[in-house]
A and B are shown apart, each in its own frame.
Chain A
Amino acid sequence: MKRLFALLCLVLLGAARDPILVPEVSQHEVEVRQGFTGTELLLFGAILDPQGTRAGRDYDIVVVLKGPTQSITLREKQKHAGIWINAASARFRSAPSFYAVASSRPLDQIVDPRTAAIYELGLPFIQLSPIGTIDPDRQVRFAAGLAGVMADGRLYQEDPHGVTVNEQVLYQARIALPSNVQTGTYTAETFAVSKGRVVASATARVQVEKRGFERAVAEFARHYAFFYGLLAVAVSVAMGWLAGRLFSYV
Chain B
Amino acid sequence: MDVYLPIANLAVNGLVIVALGALTGVLSGVFGVGGGFLTTPLLIFYGIPPTVAAASAASQVTGASVSGVFAHSRRGGVDYQMGGVLVLGGVIGTGIGALLFRMLSALGQIDTVISVLYVVLLGSIGGFMARDSVREIRAHARGQALAASKRRHHPLVANLPMRWRFYRSGLYISPLAPLLLGIVTGIATMLMGIGGGFMLVPAMLYILGMSAGVVVGTSLFQIMFVTMATTMMHALTTRAVDMVLAVLLLLGSVTGAQVGARLASSVRPERLRLALAAIVLVVALRMALGLTYRPDAIFTVTPL
Contacts and interface: CB of A to CB of B under 8 A. Distances in A.
A5 interface: no
Contact of B62 (A89, A215, A240, A243): A240
Interface stretch (B204-212, B243-251, B276-284): B243-251
B301 A146 contact: yes
A7 interface: no
Interface stretch (A8-16, A35-43, A157-165): A35-43
Interface in B1-41: 2-4, 6-7, 9-11
A221 B243 CA distance: 9
B228 A214 contact: no
Interface in B246-291: 246-247, 250-251, 254-255, 257-258, 290-291
A229 B241 contact: yes
Contacts of B228: 233, 237
B250 A217 contact: no
Given A75-B108, A83-B112, A210-B6, A146 B243 contact: no
B62 A237 contact: yes
Interface stretch (A19-27, A48-56, A114-122, A147-155): A147-155
A233 B59 contact: yes
Contacts of A148: 299
Contact of B66 (A181, A214, A240): A240
Given A35-B4, A229-B235, A84 B292 contact: yes
Nearest to B56: A232
Contact of A236 (B2, B66, B239): B66
A53 B236 CA distance: 60
A233 B62 contact: yes
A57 interface: no
Contact of A86 (B71, B109, B231, B291): B109
Given A236-B66, A241-B67, 8 more contacts: A77-B295, A83-B291, A146-B301, A214-B4, A235-B247, A236-B250, A240-B65, A244-B71
Contacts, number: 179
B9 A180 contact: yes
A181 B11 CA distance: 10
Nearest to B66: A240
B295 to A, nearest CB: 4
Interface in A71-91: 71-77, 82-86, 89, 91
A35 B2 contact: yes
Contacts of A214: 4, 6
B304 A72 contact: yes
B162 interface: no
A239 B254 contact: yes
Contacts of A32: 4
B243 A74 contact: no
Contact of A71 (B231, B257, B303): B303
A71 B231 CA distance: 27
Contacts of B51: none
Contacts of A236: 59-60, 62-63, 66, 231, 246, 250
Contact of B241 (A89, A221, A239): A221
A202 interface: no
B108 A244 contact: no
26 contacts: A32-B4, A36-B4, A73-B304, A76-B299, A84-B291, A84-B295, A86-B109, A86-B111, A91-B304, A148-B299, A149-B299, A149-B300, A179-B11, A180-B11, A221-B241, A228-B243, A229-B232, A229-B235, A229-B236, A233-B231, A235-B247, A236-B59, A236-B63, A240-B62, A243-B254, A247-B255
